[in-house]
């Protein structure tokens, strides 16, 4: 499969990552009933399509990387396929406001009185991860990341998990033996882990052997909001040669299809952040 990791993180403003409280592949007490691959694919196809027109939530975030550790709150307002507005507060004081569109990241740093306007490539340049806008929506909403209904997927034989993979098992072993790939042969390995009832998504593991980057997402709990399964607590870990980032997310007051204004102003006197 020839594609790049298109996941997402909002540079210094969103940082949607976390430490995993449990391993997705850990052995459960009982083996799961066998399911046909096609049945699981149909579930994945369905999960990849359901997206509200508007979304709002507040997220309590515990963030840590190799250099720092901080806790903050984030308000998220989203307009489907259009824009995401985030406001980060620390000790109830707004410190960062941002808007992400399909091609631009705009950040206002209220603490340092400066701003950033960059393309989405800014995220990869600063964090080593290539995210696109669609993937950002998928992560926030707890949807399968970068899932393509025209792509062929495979079930990995695992008696304790329902696992759908972008690669066959023998292909995974082959990739593990390769230290790196030629750019034109770049492979991104994505594994999706379904819930024990095979109706929902409980986690994902994404690996880019080319740049030695891995992303692990655990949706530890969810809640139903107007027939949408919305994340409640999420743990994510992103590991790259440059950094390891961990964040625990706790969603609160999620609202579906209630339009809210997106707001971002660059105050007079603010300069470009260095």
Structure token pair of residue 249: 């997310």
Q: What is the dihedral of CA 169, 147, 204, 35, to 10 degrees?
A: -60
- CA 144 – CA 47 distance, rounded (Å): 7
Residues 6+ apart with CB under 8 A from 123: 8, 9, 10, 11, 105, 129, 130, 131
Tens digits of residue pLDDT in 24-69: 444 446 899 999 999 999 999 999 998 999 999 999 999 999 888 9
Residue 271 lies in a domain: no
Q: Is 151 part of any domain?
A: yes
Spatial separation of the C-alpha atoms in residues 11 and 176, rounded to whole Å: 30
Work out the end-to-end distance of the chain between its first and last CA atoms, rounded to an integer number of angstroms.
38
Domain count, the chain: 1
Question: 229-239, pLDDT tens digit by residue?
Answer: 999 999 999 89
**pTM here?**
0.79
Neighbouring CB atoms inside 10 A of 234's CB total: 25
| pLDDT one-digit tens code per residue, 121-153 | 876 676 556 678 898 899 899 999 989 999 999
- Number of other residues whose CB lies within 10 A of the CB of residue 274: 6
Q: At 231, list the tokens.
A: 């994340």
Whether residue 121 lies inside any domain: the answer is yes
Using CA atoms, how far apart are residues 33 and 25, in angstroms rounded to an integer? 16
CB 238 within 8 A of CB 247: no
CATH number at residue 244: 2.50.20.10
Question: Is 3 inside any structural domain?
Answer: no
Residue ranges making up the domain that contains 191: 11-265
Residue 19 confidence class, pLDDT cut points 50, 70, 90: very low
Q: Which helix (H) or strand (E) holds 12?
A: helix 11-14
Whether 172 maps to a domain, the answer reads yes
Reduce the secondary structure of 158-203 to three states and give it as a string. CCCCEEEECCCHHHHHHHHHCCCCCHHHCCCEEEEEECCCCCCEEE
105 in any annotated domain: yes
pLDDT score recorded for residue 18: 30
Instruction: Report yes or no on 162 lying in a domain.
Output: yes
């Amino acid at each position: 499969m020839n594609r790049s990791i298109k996941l997402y993180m909002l540079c210094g403003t969103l940082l949607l990552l976390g430490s995993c409280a449990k391993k997705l592949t850990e052995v459960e007490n009982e083996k799961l009933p066998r399911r046909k691959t096609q049945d699981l694919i149909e579930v994945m196809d369905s999960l990849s399509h359901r997206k509200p027109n508007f979304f709002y939530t507040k997220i309590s975030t515990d963030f840590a990387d190799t250099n720092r550790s901080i806790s903050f709150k984030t308000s998220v307002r989203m307009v489907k396929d259009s824009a995401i507005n985030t406001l980060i507060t620390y000790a109830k004081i707004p410190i960062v406001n941002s808007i992400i569109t399909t091609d631009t990241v705009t950040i206002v740093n209220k603490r340092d009185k400066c701003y950033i306007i960059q393309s989405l490539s800014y995220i990869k340049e600063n964090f080593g991860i290539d995210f696109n806008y669609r993937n950002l929506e998928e992560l926030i909403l707890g949807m399968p990341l970068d899932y393509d209904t025209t792509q062929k997927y495979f079930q990995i034989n695992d008696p304790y998990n329902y696992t759908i993979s972008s690669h066959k098992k023998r292909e995974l072993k082959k990739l593990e033996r390769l230290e790196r790939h030629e750019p034109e042969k770049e492979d991104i390995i994505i594994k999706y882990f379904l819930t024990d009832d095979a109706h929902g998504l409980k986690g994902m593991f994404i690996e880019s052997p080319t740049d030695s980057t891995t992303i692990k997402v655990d949706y530890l709990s969810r809640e139903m909001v107007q027939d949408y399964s919305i994340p409640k607590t999420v743990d994510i870990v992103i590991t790259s040669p440059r950094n390891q980032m961990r964040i625990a997310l706790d969603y609160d007051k999620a609202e579906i299809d209630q339009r809210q204004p997106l707001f971002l102003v660059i105050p007079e006197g603010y300069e470009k952040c260095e």
